[in-house]
Structure 1
Amino acid sequence: MSPQARRDDLIRAALDLFGSRAPELVTVDDIVARAEVSRPLFYRYFSSLRELQVQALRTVTDGLIDGLAGLEEGPPEVRLRAAVRGLIDVADHYRAGYIALLRSGSVISTSETDAAIDEVRNRAVALILDALGVTDPSPLLSLTLRCWTAVVEGALLSWLQERTVPRESLDTWLVDQLTAMLGATAQHEPAGTTGVPAGS
């Protein structure tokens, strides 16, 4: 197995374990047992458990960005629903890792993981602007989209932990939330300001 393949295997083992417990509760012994390697081999590829935790969580954020990467053809609502479904799929697949990334006060939160989360948020905003056909958003529209990304994060965190809402309705509900927020923003835009497209 190549060095990169071995690293990837250890990261997969950690993410598998994150599915049953919080990342900060997963030990090196847990990971090497799951990956069926020795502790010395683990430390050939990662200098510390912390480094592996950060790399594993970076895998989650990379997955979220990939989930946002492909926009379907069609009207904005169809394209945005597809993107939200991609986010839901990745968040559900990496449930514990996603919760750890966004949980306030997480002991494994670092400036690197925070930057990775911001990258996902920035990608989400860029995607929405592209779907809406807006190249020069007003400050109020930009603020609206940032607020909506917080709504999505909060909703997914609650849904992953409680499962009180059917998965099939999540993407439609979240896009409806965005539509309502865009409508409110349009009513407050100054005349002549580039913001929400007509009809949003």
Structure 2
Amino acid sequence: MTTTDHRPRRMSPEERRQALIDSALELFGRNGSDRLTMEDVAAHAEVSRALVYRYFSNIEEIRVAALRAAVDDLVGRLSRQRDGDLLDQLHATLEEFVSFAEERAAGYIALLRNGSVIATSETAALVDEARHAVVGQVLERLEPVAPSPFLLLTLRCWVAACEGAMLTWLQERTLTRESLVPWLSGQLVGMIGATAAHDPEVAAILSLLEPRSAQPSSA
């Protein structure tokens, strides 16, 4: 008669480090990180304080590693190739953005909260990296020869609006996901439309963001 060994599998150093980062992300998202301690991370991960110190020398190292993990995940998702016209690609990218926020809500909330809570150049740079990645993905699809100051300002303002909307949506869920994504893309179209009145180069981009039904037929 054979018996099954139910003892937990021993983690490799890489797996253990990732488990500690995941615990930190959850705690950061739930409580913020300005008052979090190494002891808090150890308790949440159900390991000893000494084990945490084996991988990280202080709470700042954990904070940076956790934010790095969240940024890498988000940037990787947003960088995937998309099919279809510009509006289809925008919708698909936003779907991925919302999926990240839903699946890793703690990490996403931690990412945004730390942008205003932590006054260190390294963590601020990580938050900016995520924002630049979103702007970069839109610019890559718009393919302007040289993005104008008006266009860059518009996209950065849109990213800020998306961040605020996602934080509110995660907490309140007053809209369905199916209605949230087209609303977010509509915000970009509306903001680019407003900017087009001040910048002819942006006006040329606006037609690329119109639904197919609104574009003139080539027949």
TM-score when scaled to structure 2? 0.78
Structure 2 unmatched runs, 5+? 1-10, 210-219
Paired residues for 1:105-184 under 5 Å: 106-184=116-194
Letter in 1 for 2:205: P
Q: For this pair of structures, how many residues does the alignment match?
A: 198
For residues 71 and 175 of structure 1, do their structure 2 counterparts lie closer, same or farther at Cα, with a shift above 3 Å needed? Answer: farther
Q: Which amino acid aligns with 2:170?
A: L
Q: Superposition RMSD on alpha carbons, in Å?
A: 2.4
Alignment of 1:1-200 (within 5 A): 1-18=11-28, 20-24=30-34, 26-103=36-113, 106-190=116-200, 193=201, 196-197=204-205, 199=207, 200=209
Q: Deviations over 1:142-181 (max 9, x none)?
A: 2111111111111112112222222221111010111111
Q: Return the letter of the residue paired with 2:131.
A: R
For the 8 Å contact 2:78–2:97, the answer to whether it is kept is yes
1:21-79 per-residue CA deviation (whole Å, 9 max, x = no partner) reads 43446543343234332211110110112321221122112222122111321011111
SS in 1 for 2:174: coil
- Alpha carbons of structure 1 residues 84 and 189: separation in structure 2 relative to 1, 3 Å: same
Which ranges in structure 1 are unaligned for 5 or more consecutive residues? none
Do the aligned partners of residues 108 and 144 (structure 1) sit closer, same or farther apart at CA in structure 2, a change above 3 Å counting? Answer: closer
**1:138·1:195 contact (CA, 8 Å) conserved in 2?**
no
